[in-house]
Amino acid sequence: MSNAPKNDEPFDPTTVPIKPAATVLLIRDRDGGGIEVFMLQRTFNAAFASGMFVFPGGKVDELDFSSELGELCDGLTDAEASAQLGIASGGLAYWVACIRECFEEAGVLLAKYSGTGEVIRFDRDDIIEEFNKERENIHDGSLALLELIKREHLRLTTDEIFYISHWITPMGERRRFDTRFFIARAPAAQYPLHDNGETIQSFWITPEEAIRRSHDKDLMLMPPTKANIEWLLPFNSTKDAMAAAKALGKPQTILPKLKVDSDGRVLGIAMPGDPEYDAL
């Protein structure tokens, strides 16, 4: 059960825990040129970001730190992952978390067969049925990702997932997350779909259309989501976007601040570089 204060309860913002989280931008090439990104809408009953349009992602769980899972990750050690994130250890768990959450929320498994090196395909009815069931089992905790990966003789394609941004929820929010954003190319023969639980609809959309709909108030985006979509705007192919992500280096940590009036009502947010940011 969550220890976060309810919306009508007073709380001390300095005591709200900051939980580690990982989110992944799944991208694919669009017919006719350009790229698309996969998005989900969170249920209106969600305690955090209700009704907002997001990428697959969530909290980093304790099991994501498993050393056994780490041994089944391709091309990335915990030391290398931690160095990219600027932390002492445990960095690989963020890559594992975004793979697990992507499977739970979107039904896409970023993995390949250990024997052949081929990316797993969901292109037969029996395979689709089997992995849909396992997706639900992982989501409800009756199956661990490690068990699935070992049983199916898979390896996680962490070498093809790149770290692109780092956001921390502002102090003053009732729930706070230290979120790392990643990018991955959507596998062929896997077809993302929302879970009808935490998420209620899903679709592919071009970055340009997402930003236009955001400006028209038709697509509700949190600042980190919008900023990451804007990062995609210059790229005409997944190849270009992935190459840029791979070469990006360690991104700047972004910590927005809440702007409030004399009665404590939230008026908006200030971003680093805004005139009022340092004074808040």
Instruction: Name the band, by pLDDT with cuts 50, 70 and 90, for residue 233.
Output: very high
DSSP string, the chain: ---SPPTTS---GGG--EEEEEEEEEEEEPTTSSEEEEEEEE-TT-SSSTT-EE-SEEEPPGGGG-HHHHTTBSS--HHHHHHHHT-SS-THHHHHHHHHHHHHHH----EEETTT-PBP---SHHHHHHHHHHHHHHHHTSS-HHHHHHHTTEEE-GGGEEEEEEEEPPBTBSSEEEEEEEEEEPPTT------SSSEEEEEEE-HHHHHHHHHTTSS---HHHHHHHHHHTT-SSHHHHHHHHHT--SPPEE--EEEE-TT--EEEEE-TTSTTTTT-
33: left (phi over 0), alpha (psi -120 to 50) or beta: left
Give pLDDT, residue 161.
98
Provide the pLDDT for residue 101: 94
Q: Tell me what the mean pLDDT of segment 121-126 comes to.
A: 91
pLDDT surpassing 70 at residue 21: yes
Say yes or no to pLDDT of 72 above 80: yes
Least confident span in 43-57, 161-175, 236-250, 258-272: 43-57
Question: Which whole number is the average pLDDT over 7-28?
Answer: 89
Task: Flag whether pLDDT at 53 surpasses 80.
Answer: yes
Residue 47: CB atoms within 10 Å: 11
Judge whether 192 and 106 are in contact, CB under 8 Å: yes
Residue 180: its pLDDT value, please?
98
**Residue 7 pLDDT class (50, 70, 90 cuts):** low
The rounded distance, in Å, linking the Cα atoms of 137 and 42 is 20
Q: Kindly state the percentage of the chain with pLDDT values over 90.
A: 74
pLDDT of residue 1: 38
Mean pLDDT, rounded, for 66-78: 96
Confidence of residue 225 (pLDDT cuts 50, 70, 90): very high
Q: What does pLDDT average to over the chain?
A: 91
Residue 254: CB atoms within 10 Å = 16
Two tokens, residue 124: 């037969």
Res 49 pLDDT > 70: no
Q: How confident is the model at residue 48 (pLDDT cuts 50, 70, 90)?
A: low
Least confident window among 47-51, 56-60, 107-111, 235-239:
47-51
- How many other CB atoms are found less than 10 A from the CB of residue 174? 16
Say yes or no to pLDDT of 6 above 90: no
Q: Which domains does the chain have, with CATH numbers?
A: 13-254 (3.90.79.10)
Tell me the pTM. Answer: 0.90
Of 175, 242, 212, 181, nearest to 28 by C-alpha is 242
State the Cα–Cα distance between residues 181 and 134, nearest whole angstrom.
Answer: 25
Cα–Cα dist 252/232, whole Å? 17
Q: Give residue 146's pLDDT.
A: 96
Three-class HEC string of 202-268: EEEECHHHHHHHHHCCCCCCCHHHHHHHHHHCCCCCHHHHHHHHHCCCCCCEECCEEEECCCCCEEE
Mean pLDDT score, 98-121: 95
What confidence tens digit (pLDDT) does each residue in 152-193 have?
Answer: 999 999 999 999 999 999 998 889 999 999 999 999 999 887
The pLDDT of residue 47 is: 59
- Through-space distance between the first and last CA atoms of the chain, rounded to whole angstroms: 32
